[in-house]
Amino acid sequence: MKKTARLIFLLLLLTGLASVHSPAQSLNYKLESVFIYNFTKYIDWPADKQTGIFIIGVFGQSPLTDELGKFVTTKKVGELSIVVKVISNMADVAQCHIIYVPVEQNGKLWEISAACKGKPTLIVTEKPGMITRGAGISIFLDEDDDYKTKFELNKTAITSNGMLVSSNLLNLAYKLIK
Amino acid sequence: MRKIYLTLFSFLSFGWAAWAQDNSILDSAAIYNMTLEQLMNIKSSGVSSELESLINSLIGVASKKPMSSRKSPSIVTLITQEEIEKSGARDLIDVLSLVPGINFASDVAGVVGIGMRGNWANEGKVLVLLDGQEMNEIMYSTLQFGNHFDVSQIKRIEVIRGPGSAIYGGYAEYGVISIITKSGEDLNGISANVSYGQMTKSYGERDVTVSAGKKIGDFMFSLAGFIGQGQRSDLTYNDFVGNHYPMNGNSALNPGTINLGMSYKDWSLRAIYDDYQTTTRDNYGTALSQAYPDDFKSGYFELKYKGKINDKLTITPKFNYLAQLPWNFAAAPAPQDAAYTTYNELAQRTKGNITLSYDATSKINIIAGVEAFTDKATILGLDTTHFDNGSRTISYFNSAAFFQALVKSKIAYLTVGARFDNNSSYGSSFVPRLGITKKIEKWNFKLLYSEAFRAPGIDDINYSLPPGTIKPETTQTIELETGYQPGANSYITVNLFDITTFNPIIYSVDTVVINKVAYSGDAYTNQKQSGSIGIETDYRIRSTWGYLDFNYAYYTTAGKDDVPVYQVPANTNMTLAFPANKFNLSANFNLGKSFSIAPTASLLGRRYGYDPSEPASENYLKEYPPLLLANIFITWNNCITKGLKIGLGCYNMLNSEDLYIQPYNGGHPPLPGPTREFVARITYNLNAKK
């Protein structure tokens, strides 16, 4: 009888576990936009990119565009004013200092990476693992650490395109490819 | 027991939708001016409280792959440096006594050991790791507690309150206690700690620690030296034949430890010398005419390389060597002490381990490895005995392979693992494990099934009956846990456990009948079955005012205990020495920036043990009434100058009679513990520039 009661209890628990779906946890765009702005403090662009305006491009449609627009226009990167642009043509990618690739656009990451080859454009994505597919930085939620926002960084991908990365940023990366 | 299941199920069932999020920080403009470091401490739903950071901090002991304690596939207790320091804990007994399910009891020769969930666990059933080094001596696999391990150097303790053999092998059948000391980066300079405790009639301990450490680029080192003197008690010990003596002056607990850690890039080295000098007069129960040394000397060495082959694959080869002189009775006894038994044996273990960790995807991790070690024992000096091979030297070879897969699916986290060991003396053991863990906002759930084993120690084999027949004991454990976080600052867990141990290795001093053949004398035999079932609950609150941790543990043998020497004839639901019910309270209240006051207390339910004060007609069995141990400790931080800390407190304020009862019927009356003890501690940290 005791064994039966125990078995029923285990089955109920397992059924409960399997039937309950976690409410989706996703990146907070406001938080993500502040991350992206902060990256500009740790990365140096070559001299020819330090004139004019500082362009943060968002590839395709994303709520991040509005979040960035709410505050980066009041900020500067060095002496440069910041503008946020929605980029829809591959030919326009390389004009950006930073190009943000939403998760829905990950299928075009190789193409974006090829378009930025040799150009000082930092590619930022929002899915872990993308730093092995051409991105310089991937922002993600660490579900093992209470859904805190972290980032992975591929140093080679950034420096091979002519940008310099501060060691402080390297130390903060959750995962680093040198 | 049915009531317990129903209670837990009710707890699981209510309030599935009771989660609410604190989005205030995300809604404010302050976030725009935050640094990356600050941003990385923010959850997608808001800032983590101190408690959330604690309960979600990464735990390495449960799975080799660090995971948050709420998702790790074990029932875990994390003890922080802050909790240890503020509680004023004198030693590891004070720290671990506050963990649900852990109790301490008397073995022989003045040694106090550990019990887990109502089971005597000191001989090879609980593994203690000090900076990754296995502290169990390898002759009998025992541990020794009491002014032994230096608590002032501890950064954190991760406790698995359940089996860990699928990862750690034959000493981790009922639990794993992983002690992590301060690294060079933590120390960042020089530190000194002096503590003194005064019991009613004698000092309790007078210890000194000096440590230094620093991180310089890729190089880091830490070096800590701990030396002291202590005494188990200042009460009177009474044996069964009418002898008695004062414990003060006859129960020395004198530690001496040097702990060196070094690392350079992917290489790390650890060397520990542990010279724990104790004296005993209680021997195996009948008092000797004088106290004799009973020393435990050990040296540990580890060299490890963590090689990153590529982004997904890490290979970690490791070499370990240890040499021990445990239970070292090497004195010349007085003529009237014929019961004194010389024991002077050198034990050595040489071990190699290669572990691979492969991140197949961001959701799948696989760990696999092989391990091999040789145990060698040599009888020295005055000891005239020999091993059962007729020689004064004996050795065994053990090989093992282990595997673990961690899958982070959307439904739940799944951990599947197993370990296979083969020993040249006692054969093979195979222990699989399965863990399903799930976190749903403020709730978390764990369903764990583990098999585990206890490897016989070298002298368990040597003293086995019938000779040469000892086998590993095996344990099946089922555990269920649910955790709920009612608010940002509080967290409660409830867990059930069901432990069944088959063929337990039992030490007996009386006649044992096996297969209708009677054997007598000190011996180790495999007997039929032992185990327990029970419930543990832990409620934690943490806020700016301080913290409070309240926990409760209950066990019953539930008819699993077929081992006569563990049984309580008057109460078949309990085992000797261990209370079925225990409450613990650990709190700290911050009084301004510099002061804190920390009350801690344990309330133990009634216990049973054999005691000479009871009439022989009752076979000396005694019921001990509930015991309350209440303590308080006050800390003054940055006293007079920065880095200076002074603590004052009182342990066992009520002067309760704290006895370590022998958890098996081995002819040893209870060993007295400390009386009321006033404790003073001074710590000074001189930090270097970073």
| Per-residue pLDDT at A5 | 52
Instruction: Write the residue in A37, A38, A148 that is nearest to B43 by C-beta.
Output: A148
- Please list every residue in chain A whose beta carbon sits closer than 8 Å to the beta carbon of residue B447: 10, 13-14, 17
| Per-residue pLDDT at A16 | 47
Residue B100 and residue B584 in contact, taking contact as beta carbons nearer than 8 Å: yes
Closest CA to B562 of B637, B498, B501: B501
**Which tokens in the block code for residue B51?**
């408690």
Instruction: Write the residue in B36, B311, B445 that is nearest to A177 by C-beta.
Output: B311
The per-residue b/e assignment along B62-91, b for 16 or more CB within 10 angstroms, e otherwise, is bbbbebbbbbbbbbbbbbebebbbbbbbbb
Please answer yes or no on whether B447 and A13 come within 8 Å at the CB atom. yes
- Percent of chain B predicted with pLDDT > 90: 72
d(CA A152, CA B109): 56
Q: Among residues 55-94 of chain A, which lie with CB inside 8 Å of chain B?
A: 71
pLDDT tens-digit series, residues B75-114: 999 999 999 999 999 999 999 999 999 999 999 999 999 9
Q: Does the pLDDT value for residue B296 go beyond 90? A: yes
- Please list every residue in chain A whose beta carbon sits closer than 8 Å to the beta carbon of residue B2: 2, 5
What is the pLDDT averaged over residues B47-54? 70
Mutate to test the interface with B, among A12, A21, A27, A147 (most CBs of B within 10 A): A147
Closest CA to B583 of B120, B114, B98: B98
- Please list every residue in chain B whose beta carbon sits closer than 8 Å to the beta carbon of residue A144: 58, 67-68, 71
Please answer yes or no on whether A71 and B16 come within 8 Å at the CB atom. no
* Closest CA of chain A from B265, distance in Å: 14
Please compute, for residue B13, the number of CA atoms within 13 A of its CA located in the half-sphere on the CB side: 8
| Count of H-run helices and E-run strands, chain A | 6, 10
Closest CA to B89 of B655, B600, B674: B600
Instruction: Write the residue in A132, A145, A149 that is nearest to B311 by C-beta.
Output: A132
| Per-residue pLDDT at B54 | 76
- Please list every residue in chain A whose beta carbon sits closer than 8 Å to the beta carbon of residue B9: 9, 12-13
| Per-residue pLDDT at B52 | 73
CA B381 to chain centre: 33
Instruction: Write the residue in B2, B42, B412 that is nearest to A148 by C-beta.
Output: B42
Please answer yes or no on whether B44 and A38 come within 8 Å at the CB atom. no
Q: Which of B61-75, B83-97, B105-119, B456-470 comes out lowest in average pLDDT?
A: B61-75
Q: Which is more confident, A20 or B635?
A: B635
| Predicted complex ipTM | 0.82
- Please list every residue in chain B whose beta carbon sits closer than 8 Å to the beta carbon of residue A29: none
d(CA B137, CA B145): 13
Q: Which of B64-78, B167-181, B479-493 comes out lowest in average pLDDT?
A: B64-78
pLDDT tens-digit series, residues A66-104: 989 888 888 899 889 999 999 999 999 999 999 999 999
Please answer yes or no on whether A34 and B37 come within 8 Å at the CB atom. no
User: Residue A69, SS3?
Assistant: helix
Instruction: Note whether A17 contacts B: Cβ–Cβ < 8 A.
Output: yes
Average model confidence (pLDDT) for chain B?
Answer: 90
* Closest CA of chain A from B32, distance in Å: 6
Domains of chain A: 27-177 (3.40.50.2300)
* Closest CA of chain A from B592, distance in Å: 30
Please answer yes or no on whether B311 and A148 come within 8 Å at the CB atom. no
d(CA A59, CA A108): 10
Q: Is the dihedral of CA B120, B79, B552, B676 positive or negative?
A: positive
| Per-residue pLDDT at B440 | 86
Q: Is the dihedral of CA B81, B83, B87, B91 positive or negative?
A: negative
- Please list every residue in chain B whose beta carbon sits closer than 8 Å to the beta carbon of residue A20: 16, 438, 440
Instruction: Write the residue in B31, B53, B58 that is nearest to A34 by C-beta.
Output: B31
| Per-residue pLDDT at B639 | 87
pLDDT band at B59 (very low <50, low <70, confident <90, very high): confident
| Per-residue pLDDT at A22 | 45
Please answer yes or no on whether A31 and B71 come within 8 Å at the CB atom. no
Instruction: Write the residue in B36, B58, B410 that is nearest to A172 by C-beta.
Output: B36
Residue B420 and residue B430 in contact, taking contact as beta carbons nearer than 8 Å: yes
What are the E-state strand segments in B380-489? 393-408, 413-423, 427-440, 443-454, 473-487
Please answer yes or no on whether A20 and B16 come within 8 Å at the CB atom. yes
Closest residue of A to B51, CA-based?
A146
What is the pLDDT averaged over residues B61-76? 84
Q: Does the pLDDT value for residue B46 go beyond 80? A: no
Residue B555 and residue B117 in contact, taking contact as beta carbons nearer than 8 Å: yes
| Per-residue pLDDT at B290 | 95
* Closest CA of chain A from B71, distance in Å: 8
- DSSP for B548-576 reads EEEEEEEEE-TT----GGGB-TT-TTSBT
pLDDT band at A4 (very low <50, low <70, confident <90, very high): very low
d(CA B328, CA B345): 7
Return the bridge partners of A125, or none.
A101, A138
Please answer yes or no on whether B32 and A71 come within 8 Å at the CB atom. yes
pLDDT tens-digit series, residues B158-213: 999 999 999 999 899 999 999 999 999 999 999 999 999 999 999 999 999 999 99
Residue B226 and residue B104 in contact, taking contact as beta carbons nearer than 8 Å: no
Please answer yes or no on whether A28 and B44 come within 8 Å at the CB atom. yes
A and B: number of Cβ contacts within 8 A: 104
| Per-residue pLDDT at B341 | 86
- Please list every residue in chain A whose beta carbon sits closer than 8 Å to the beta carbon of residue B56: 145-146
Residue A146 and residue B68 in contact, taking contact as beta carbons nearer than 8 Å: yes
∠ Cα B112 B114 B115 (to 5°)? 130
∠ Cα A99 A100 A104 (to 5°)? 130
Q: Does the pLDDT value for residue A19 go beyond 80? A: no
Q: Which is more confident, B518 or B53?
A: B53
| Per-residue pLDDT at B148 | 97
Closest residue of A to B57, CA-based?
A145
- Please list every residue in chain B whose beta carbon sits closer than 8 Å to the beta carbon of residue A149: 39-40, 42, 44
* Closest CA of chain B from A118, distance in Å: 24
Closest residue of B to A32, CA-based?
B39
Please compute, for residue B546, the number of CA atoms within 13 A of its CA located in the half-sphere on the CB side: 20
- Please list every residue in chain B whose beta carbon sits closer than 8 Å to the beta carbon of residue A23: 440-441
Mutate to test the interface with B, among A34, A153, A178 (most CBs of B within 10 A): A34
Q: Does the pLDDT value for residue A12 go beyond 70? A: no
pLDDT band at B21 (very low <50, low <70, confident <90, very high): very low
pLDDT tens-digit series, residues B609-624: 998 776 654 578 999 9
Please answer yes or no on whether A30 and B26 come within 8 Å at the CB atom. yes
Distances (CA, A) of A139 to A64, A148, A153, B159, B364: 13, 11, 9, 33, 19
User: What is the gyration radius of the CA atoms in chain B, in angstroms?
Assistant: 25
Closest residue of A to B5, CA-based?
A9
∠ Cα B183 B185 B189 (to 5°)? 100
* Reported CATH class of domain B48-687: mainly beta
Closest residue of A to B444, CA-based?
A17
Give yes or no for a cis peptide into B326 (omega within 30° of 0): no
Q: What are the percentages of helix, strand and coil residues in chain B, rounded to 5?
A: 10, 55, 35
Closest CA to B647 of B620, B674, B682, B676: B682
* Closest CA of chain B from A3, distance in Å: 10
Q: Does the pLDDT value for residue B125 go beyond 60? A: yes
- Please list every residue in chain B whose beta carbon sits closer than 8 Å to the beta carbon of residue A28: 26, 44-45
CA-CA-CA-CA dihedral for B446, B585, B178, B663, to nearest 10? -100
Q: Which is more confident, B62 or B38?
A: B38
d(CA A85, CA A56): 6
- Please list every residue in chain A whose beta carbon sits closer than 8 Å to the beta carbon of residue B5: 5-6, 9
Please answer yes or no on whether A17 and B410 come within 8 Å at the CB atom. no
Instruction: Write the residue in A23, A26, A148 that is nearest to B441 by C-beta.
Output: A23
| Per-residue pLDDT at A142 | 84
Average model confidence (pLDDT) for chain A?
Answer: 85
Closest residue of A to B13, CA-based?
A16
Most confident of B4-13, B267-276, B559-568: B267-276
d(CA A128, CA A134): 12
| Per-residue pLDDT at B15 | 32
Q: Which residues of B touch A (CB under 8 A)?
A: 1-2, 5, 9, 12, 16, 26, 31-32, 34-37, 39-45, 48, 52-53, 56, 58, 67-68, 71, 311, 361-362, 408, 410-412, 436, 438-441, 445, 447, 478, 480, 498
Q: Among residues 123-142 of chain A, which lie with CB inside 8 Å of chain B?
A: 128-129, 132, 141
Most confident of A95-109, B14-28, B223-237, B610-624: B223-237
Residue B202 and residue B228 in contact, taking contact as beta carbons nearer than 8 Å: no
State the distance between the two ends of chain B, measured CA to CA, in whole angstroms. Answer: 56
Please answer yes or no on whether B9 and A34 come within 8 Å at the CB atom. no
The per-residue b/e assignment along A138-163, b for 16 or more CB within 10 angstroms, e otherwise, is bbbbbbbbbbbbbbbbbbebbeebeb
User: Residue A39, SS3?
Assistant: helix
Q: Which is more confident, B618 or B264?
A: B264
